């Protein structure tokens, strides 16, 4: 008895094409952006908690007597940030617009307080933190969210009034407002955050359709500003020269970068295993913050690093998809600026670890240790989830999906309305 050929023709090639078409079709569904943001965020968050423990357990056991000290602190920040993310995902766009000016104002006040002697805390050449005893607050992190919301609201109002054809309307007061925040961060010697804030500014100009000459001029001006910041600060100049001369001073300014590369190189394809790396034994400074990607490469190998890159890539795709599909100008601008913030921060962090960019000291979103960065990041991801629910067809798809598991459980217990 002769068997029938596989559906789609011989060799299975049409079948493979059908599978590819099916996968591409999934990307066109109304809730694709929603599930990509949610899924990538949760996976990166879980990976981050795991790697914070894997990178800090030896040092914390020696210093505090418990290997779980930093892990417990990070879990606490995640426990605060997840409800904030859940709340942000349920807020309407008008609430984000209403929060824009108060949040930016509070961030500016916080950045001013950081610069007051005795109130701001300085470490590793930068004045970033307000010391509140049990924990520290870094005002530059909520300043990123404040600039995203304020800039998006401002440009959306300009768009409604039809004023975006004039370059002065594009830059005033966006440029002075962003300049104040950037200047305060610069005075604290935080170059990494300055780059992220400038990226948000450029993303807003790009989305509103700034003339190419204006965009190039602003990019050149920002490049000149960054060059000045590097030249006037000796330790930044040392980092730059150390980056340009990869073979020089391996035990000095190049030590952290060299140890990071050694950690990644020793991971191979599949890594040494969780908690089995060498870098966590004090060889790699700040492994749980700036260089946590090196710990991923060492303990999870090339496969682990590719998974991290893939998750950030999908997150960036989802954010840009939201910005392209939503109709409201504010949501489009805020989604694009937020995506630029998270993407550039991830690129700069990973680029520094693998040696293709100078070290700037900014964390890897959702993965690195730190509560001041974690909470605003989760809030902005919740905002993207809220915007994703307002894509065309998303509300209908959510309604057709029915109640969530929590509501179904409450209904089963007789505690929710049917």
Query: 293 near 364, Cβ under 8 Å?
Result: yes
Instruction: List all residues 6 or more positions away from 151 whose beta carbon is below 8 Å from its beta carbon.
Output: 174, 177, 178, 200, 201, 204, 333, 337
Q: How far apart are CA 9 and CA 18, in angstroms?
A: 11
Averaged pLDDT, 163-188:
82
Q: What is the predicted pLDDT for the residue at 245?
A: 65
Q: What is the predicted pLDDT for the residue at 38?
A: 94
Encode 233-249: b = buried (16+ Cβ within 10 Å), e = exposed: eeebeebbebbeeeeee
pTM: 0.86
Instruction: Report the percent of the chain where pLDDT is more than 90.
Output: 36
Question: Across-strand partners of 222?
Answer: none
Query: 340 near 207, Cβ under 8 Å?
Result: no
Least confident of 5-9, 135-139, 251-255, 351-355: 5-9
Q: What is the predicted pLDDT for the residue at 100?
A: 93
Q: CA 381 → CA 274, 339, 345, 352, distances in Å?
A: 28, 9, 14, 24
Query: 348 near 329, Cβ under 8 Å?
Result: no
Q: How far apart are CA 215 and CA 160, in angstroms?
A: 21
pLDDT single digits (tens) 39-77: 999 999 999 999 999 888 888 888 888 888 888 999 999
Q: How far apart are CA 296 and CA 35, in angstroms?
A: 25
Least confident of 20-34, 97-111, 234-248: 234-248
Q: Which residue has the tokens 């039809």?
A: 162
Task: Report residue 19: phi and psi, to 5°.
Answer: -65, -40
Q: Answer whether the bond into residue 173 is a cis peptide, omega within 30°.
A: yes
Instruction: List all residues 6 or more positions away from 246 whose beta carbon is below 8 Å from its beta carbon.
Output: 254, 355
Q: What is the predicted pLDDT for the residue at 90?
A: 92
Averaged pLDDT, 332-343:
95
Q: What is the predicted pLDDT for the residue at 318?
A: 95
User: Would the pLDDT of 8 be above 50?
Assistant: no
Closest CA to 294 of 314, 265, 315, 332: 265
User: Would the pLDDT of 341 be above 60?
Assistant: yes
Say if strands 120-123 and 126-131 run parallel, antiparallel, or are unpaired.
antiparallel
Averaged pLDDT, 351-364:
85
pLDDT single digits (tens) 152-174: 999 999 888 777 777 777 788 88
pLDDT band, very low/low/confident/very high, at 122 (cuts 50, 70, 90): low
User: Would the pLDDT of 10 be above 60?
Assistant: no
Least confident of 105-109, 164-168, 295-299, 333-337: 164-168
Q: What is the predicted pLDDT for the residue at 209?
A: 82
Query: 85 near 388, Cβ under 8 Å?
Result: no
pLDDT single digits (tens) 13-23: 556 776 666 65
DSSP 257-291: HHHHHHHHHHHTTT-S-TT--SGGGTTSTTTTTTT
Exposed/middle/buried for residue 185 (C-beta within 10 Å: 0-12, 13-18, 19+): buried
Quote the mean pLDDT of the chain.
82
User: Would the pLDDT of 413 be above 70?
Assistant: no
User: Would the pLDDT of 229 be above 80?
Assistant: no
Q: How far apart are CA 299 and CA 316, in angstroms?
A: 25
Averaged pLDDT, 165-194:
82
Query: 68 near 346, Cβ under 8 Å?
Result: no
Helix-strand-coil percent breakdown of the chain, rounded to 5? 70, 5, 30
User: Would the pLDDT of 249 be above 50?
Assistant: yes
Least confident of 140-144, 156-160, 204-208, 285-289: 285-289
Averaged pLDDT, 335-355:
92
């Amino acid at each position: 008895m002769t068997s029938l050929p596989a559906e789609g023709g011989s060799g299975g090639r049409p079948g493979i094409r059908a599978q590819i078409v099916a996968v591409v079709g999934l990307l066109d569904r109304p809730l694709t952006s929603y599930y990509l943001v949610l899924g990538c965020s949760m996976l990166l968050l879980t990976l981050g908690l795991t790697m914070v423990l894997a990178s800090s357990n030896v040092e914390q056991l020696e210093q505090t007597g418990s290997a779980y000290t930093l892990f417990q602190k990070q879990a606490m920040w995640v426990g605060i940030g997840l409800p904030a993310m859940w709340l942000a995902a349920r807020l309407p766009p008008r609430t984000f617009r209403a929060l824009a000016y108060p949040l930016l104002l509070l961030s500016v006040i916080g950045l001013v307080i950081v610069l007051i002697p005795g109130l701001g805390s300085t470490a590793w050449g930068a004045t970033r933190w307000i010391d509140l005893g049990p924990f520290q607050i870094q005002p530059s992190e909520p300043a990123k969210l404040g600039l995203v919301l304020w800039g998006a609201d401002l440009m959306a109002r300009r768009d409604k009034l039809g004023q975006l054809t004039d370059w002065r309307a594009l830059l005033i007061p966006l440029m002075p407002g962003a300049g104040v925040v950037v200047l305060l961060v610069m005075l604290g010697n935080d170059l990494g955050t300055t780059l992220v804030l400038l990226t948000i500014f450029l993303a807003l100009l790009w989305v509103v359709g700034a003339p190419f000459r204006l965009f190039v001029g602003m990019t050149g001006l920002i490049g000149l500003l960054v060059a000045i910041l590097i030249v006037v600060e000796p330790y930044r100049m040392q980092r730059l020269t150390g980056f340009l001369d990869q073979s020089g001073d391996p035990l000095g300014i190049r030590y952290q970068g060299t140890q990071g590369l050694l950690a990644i190189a020793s991971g191979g394809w599949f890594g040494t295993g969780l908690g089995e790396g060498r870098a966590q034994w004090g060889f790699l400074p700040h492994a749980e913050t700036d260089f946590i990607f090196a710990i991923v490469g060492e303990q999870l190998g090339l496969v682990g690093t590719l998974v991290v890159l893939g998750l950030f890539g999908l997150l960036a795709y989802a954010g840009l998809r939201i910005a392209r599909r939503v109709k409201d100008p504010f949501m489009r601008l805020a989604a694009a600026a937020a995506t630029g913030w998270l993407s550039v921060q991830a690129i700069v962090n990973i680029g520094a670890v693998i040696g293709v960019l100078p070290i700037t000291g900014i964390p890897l979103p959702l993965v690195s240790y730190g509560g001041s960065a974690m909470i605003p990041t989760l809030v902005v991801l919740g905002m993207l989830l809220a915007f994703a629910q307002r894509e065309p067809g998303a509300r209908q798809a959510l309604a057709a999906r029915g109640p969530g598991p929590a509501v179904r459980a409450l209904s089963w217990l007789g505690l929710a309305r049917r």
